[in-house]
Structure 1
Amino acid sequence: MTKLIVAKFGGSAIGQNGETIPKIIQRISDLKTDSKVIAVFSAPLTIYNEKKRSLTDIILEQGKNAENGIKPSLDIVKSTYQKILDMVDEDNKENCKKTIDFHLKKAQKALDQAFDSKEFVNEVRSNALAFSGEILMSHVMTHILRSNDIRTEAVKFDDWPIITDHNIEFTNFLRTESKEKMGKIAELVDNNQVVTIGGFIGKTIDGITTTYERGGSDRTAADLGILFHKKYETSIDFEKDSAVVSADPKIVDSELREVIQLSYNEARLAGMFGMKILDPIAIKEIVENGVDMPIIITNMKNPEKITTIKRSLQEQKGHPIKIVTGKKNCAIFRIETNSIQRLLTSLEKDKHYSEFIILSPFTKDGIEFSRILFLDGEYVKRNEKYLLAFDSLATITYNRGVITLIGDEMWRVQQVASRTSAKIGESGLNILNMDAQEETSRIIIVVEDSHDNITKAIKAVHQEISKINFV
């Protein structure tokens, strides 16, 4: 069976004004030597007000300006692509320039609509983001790759294979409908070495532009893998500035361990709890669709450094506790246990939302209560009315932070719960809640989200892990 690699290049991989595109060209050249390649691109980065920013953030800011009656501008976006255009050779430059102008006209039209209506929402928002960012970048990369003698073609939005539901700004992948629309991209993959496509963007069956949540390009890569895995020997490759290590290097700067392998479960938990490995919903979609394909996290600067993610690992290597991570801005929702199932069913079926963890229940005055740890406090604030409708006496506690240890075989580590909790206490932090479950092989420690509590806790626990014995 022919190999297919779905390679995703995020904004940091592209770099500000496309400065690391030469490295992307080299990586794609290497990947295509023995495999077909679908390259998924995010929006590039730029420098704005002396800060590194994604073009996605720039467009969101311009949309907010439009809502406030300030004329939106694409000047910074145009200048970014003008710099990237310098990487296109003379044979392809004129067509690439026409492509940029064509897509930015569509983005400007959407921003003008927002200015007229004073609303930057739904399809207007999606079109502004799509045609200034991911979709446009995929077309520009096609011209750049052609300039480097790589046979490539971009997926046009008319032929879009990622079909979603009608949740315009936080959309959900529809596999059956997408399979019916994948004829054109399948043809492109057959006839080219590389096919480029924008991440983050979807399309309803009736042609409305939709977007995933931020980080949704990971989901696009996963969805393409789901669509192609029966036709090709498919793997997914996330190209980043490092492979996976045992904690966020921006928080922990010493004694970091390379993580060679993760299970789907470990990677999803790590992503949910703050590690920027990949969007945890991407793995959720792979699992829910019954697909088993390897995911590789590659250090673009040193491609020999990789982390392999598989559904299940035949042989675990290294320390059973692979990652220590944490999440700010969480919320705990307490509800009577006899009401929780209706809420959980609604979150899954109606909201398609899964970024929460069920904590151990407790009993008070003879009544059993369940607790849901939501990993996004802002989501809870936006949906308070919806959540409280399931139990008017339910309570919500905000400003909670969570530290967690990741490892499917954490049960092999002696005294892990007592040692880690003691270490957090020694750091001067008050543990508000601790949830340890052997069945799920996880330890969740809740503290107040204030000052640098989460950072201090992660550093303390990570330092302790290497000292704890394991079987």
Structure 2
Amino acid sequence: MTKLIVAKFGGSAIGIDGISIPLVIDRINDLKKDSKIIAVFSAPLTIQNGKKCSLTDVILEQGRNVESGKKANLDVIKSCYEKIMKFVNSENKEDCQKSIDLFLKKAETALDEALLKKEFANEVRSRSLAFSGEILISHVMNYILRSNGIKSSAVSYDDWPIITDQNIESTNFLASKSRENLGKTAKLVDENEVVVIGGFIGKTPEGVITTYERGGSDRTAADLGILFHKKYETRIDFEKDSSVVSADPKIVESGLTEVDELSYNEARLAGMFGMKILDPIAIKEIVENGVDMPIIVTNMKEPSKNTTIKRVPDSKNGHPIKIVTGKENCAIFKIETNAAQKLLISLEKDKRYSEYIILSPFTKDGVEFSRILFLDADYIKRNEKYFLGFDPLASITYNRGVITLIGDEMWRVQQVASRTSAKIGEVGLNILNMDAQEETSRIIIVIEDSKDSIRKAINVIHQEISKINFI
């Protein structure tokens, strides 16, 4: 069976104003030696007001401007693509410039519509983001690859293979509909060394442009793997600036260890709880579609350093606790257990939302209450009316942070719950809830989200882990 690598290059892989594109080309040349490639690109990074940001953030700011009555200004976007154009040779430069002008005109038209309506939302928002970011960079990267002698083609939005539901701004992948629309993309994969596509973007069966939530390019890569895994020996490759280590290096500065392998479950939990490995919904979609394919997280600058994510890892060597991580800006929703089940069914079927953890219940005045930990308090704030509709007397507690330890075989670690909780107390933090389950090998510690509390807790637990014995 022919090999296929779905390689995802995020904004940091492309670099500020495309500075890392030569490295991207080197990686693609290396990967395509024995495999066909689908290259998924996120929107590039640039500098605005002295700070690094994604072109997605630039457009979102312009969206806020048009809502307040100011005409959009795409100068920052245009400047970024002008700098990226230096990687296009003279033979492809004219066509590439035409593509840039065409797509930025579409983005500008969408922003003008938002200005008239004083509303930057739904399809107008999606079009603005797609035509200035992911779809445009995919076409520009196609010309850059061709300029470097690589036989490549970009997927046209008319033939888009990622078909989604009607949730425009936080859409959901429809695998069966996508398979029906896969023909032209499959033909491109057959005929080329590399096929280029923008991440984050979807399309309803009726042709309305949609977007995943932030981090959605990871989902695009996973979705393409799902669609092609029966025809090709498929793997997904996330090209990043490091492989996976035992904690976020921006939080823990010393004593980090490299993680060679993770299970799907471990990777999903780590992503849910703040590790920027991959979007946890990408793993969820792979599992839901019954697919078993390896995911490689590669240090693009040093490709020999990588982490393999599999349904069941090959090796069980090393410390059973692989990662210590945490999440700020969480919320706890307390609701009568009788009403909780209806909420959970609605979240799954109507919202297709799964970024929550069910904590242990409690009983008060003879009534049992369920506690649901939501890992994105902003989602609750945006949808308070929806949540309280299931139980008007339910309560929401904001300002919560959570720390968790990742390891499917954590049961092999002696005294882990007592020693980690003691260490949190030693640095002056109060544990508000601790949920430990032998069956799921999961420990969740909830504390108040204030100042640097999460950072302090992660550091002290990470330091303690190496001292704890395991079977």
TM range (shorter): over 0.9
The aligned residue for residue 415 of structure 1 is 415
Aligned to 1:236: 236
Deviation at 1:131, TM superposition (A): 0.4
Partner of 1:371: 371
Structure 2 residue aligned with 1:20: 20
% identical equivalent positions: 76
Q: 1:172-200: per-residue Cα shift (whole Å, max 9, x none)?
A: 00001000000011000000000000000
**What is the deviation of 1:434?**
0.3
**Matched residue, 1:249:** 249
Q: Deviations over 1:73-129 (max 9, x none)?
A: 111100100000011111111111111111111001001111111111000000000
1:367 Cα shift?
Answer: 1.5
Deviations 1:376-397 (A, max 9, x none): 0011111111111111221111
Letter in 1 for 2:248: D
* C-alpha distance in 2 between matches for 1:382 and 1:346: 16
Q: Deviations over 1:223-272 (max 9, x none)?
A: 00000000000000000000000000000000000000000000000000
Structure 2 equivalent of residue 106 of structure 1:
106
Question: Is residue 136 of structure 2 the alignment partner of residue 136 of structure 1?
Answer: yes
1:385-417: per-residue Cα shift (whole Å, max 9, x none)? 111111122111110000000000000000000
Distance 1:85 1:423 in 2: 53
What is the CA–CA distance in structure 2 between the aligned matches of 1:317 and 1:232, rounded to whole Å?
A: 31
| Contact preservation (8 Å) 2:4, 2:36 | yes
Contact 2:261 2:315 in 1 (8 A): no
Contact 2:240/2:300 (8 A) holds in 1:
yes
Q: Distance in 2 between matches of 1:315 and 1:44?
A: 36
Whole-angstrom distance in 2 between the partners of 1:392 and 1:181: 43
Aligned twin of 2:147: 147
Flag structure 2 segments of 5+ consecutive residues without an equivalent.
none
Supply the distance in 2 between the matched residues of 1:10 and 1:448 (Cα, whole angstroms). 32
| 1:391 aligned residue | 391
SS in 1 for 2:371: strand
**CA-atom RMSD in angstroms:** 0.6
The answer for the alignment partner of 1:166 in structure 2 is 166
Per-residue deviation at 1:368? 1.3
Q: Distance in 1 between matches of 2:135 and 2:271?
A: 25
TM-score between both structures, scaled by the size of structure 1 = 0.99
Query: How far off its partner does 1:314 sit?
Result: 3.7
Q: Which amino acid aligns with 2:100?
A: I
1:25-424 alignment, distance < 5 Å = 25-424=25-424
SS in 2 for 1:251: coil
Deviations 1:47-85 (A, max 9, x none): 111111100000000011000001101111001000000
Distance in 2 of aligned mates of 1:285 and 1:347: 16
Q: Distance in 2 between matches of 1:315 and 1:466?
A: 19
SS at match of 2:103: helix
Note if contact 2:272-2:375 (Cα within 8 Å) is conserved in structure 1: yes
Write out per-residue CA displacement over residues 193-219 of structure 1, whole angstroms, 9 at most, x where no aligned residue.
Answer: 000000000000111000000000000
C-alpha separation in 2, matches of 1:29 and 1:314: 28
Query: How far does the alpha carbon of each residue in 1:317-347 deviate from its partner, in whole angstroms, 9 at most, with x for none?
Result: 2110000000001000111111111110000
Q: Secondary structure at the match of 1:249?
A: coil
Is the Cα contact below 8 Å between 2:274 and 2:327 reproduced in 1? yes
Matched residue, 1:441: 441
Distance between the aligned counterparts of 2:67 and 2:393, measured in 1?
37
Tell me the distance in 2 between the aligned counterparts of 1:39 and 1:125.
24
Distance 2:180 2:317 in 1: 41
| Structure 2: distance between partners of 1:354 and 1:412 | 28
Indicate the SS of the match to 1:238.
Answer: strand
One-letter identity of the residue aligned with 1:341 = Q
User: Which aligned segments of 4 or more residues in structure 1 are displaced greater than 4 angstroms?
Assistant: none
Distance in 2 separating the partners of 1:388 and 1:374: 14
SS in 1 for 2:319: coil
Q: Using the alignment, how far apart are the partners of 1:297 and 1:449 within structure 2?
A: 30
- Segments of structure 1 that go 5 or more residues without pairing to the other structure are none
Cα distance in 2, alignment partners of residues 102 and 313 from structure 1: 46
Structure 2 CA distance for aligned equivalents of residues 99 and 300 of structure 1: 28
Secondary structure of residue in 1 paired with 2:434: strand
Q: Which amino acid aligns with 2:310?
A: K
Q: Which string of whole-angstrom CA distances, capped at 9 and with x for unpartnered residues, describes residues 145-189 of structure 1?
A: 001100000000000000000100000000010000000110000
Amino acid at match of 2:287: V
How many Å separate the matches in 1 of 2:335 and 2:293? 38
CA distance in 2, matches of 1:113, 1:32: 42
Match of 1:456 in 2: 456
- The offset of 1:362, in angstroms, is 1.2
Which residue of structure 2 lines up, in the alignment, with residue 467 of structure 1?
467
Q: What is the Cα deviation at residue 355 of structure 1?
A: 0.2
Asked if the contact 2:163/2:202 (under 8 Å) is kept, the reply is yes
Instruction: State the SS of the aligned residue for 2:268.
Output: helix
Alpha-carbon distance between aligned partners in 2 of 1:313 and 1:19, rounded to the nearest angstrom: 35
Q: Distance in 1 between matches of 2:317 and 2:119?
A: 52
Q: Distance in 2 between matches of 1:235 and 1:130?
A: 26
Give the match's secondary structure for 1:346: helix
Which letter maps to 2:290? Answer: G
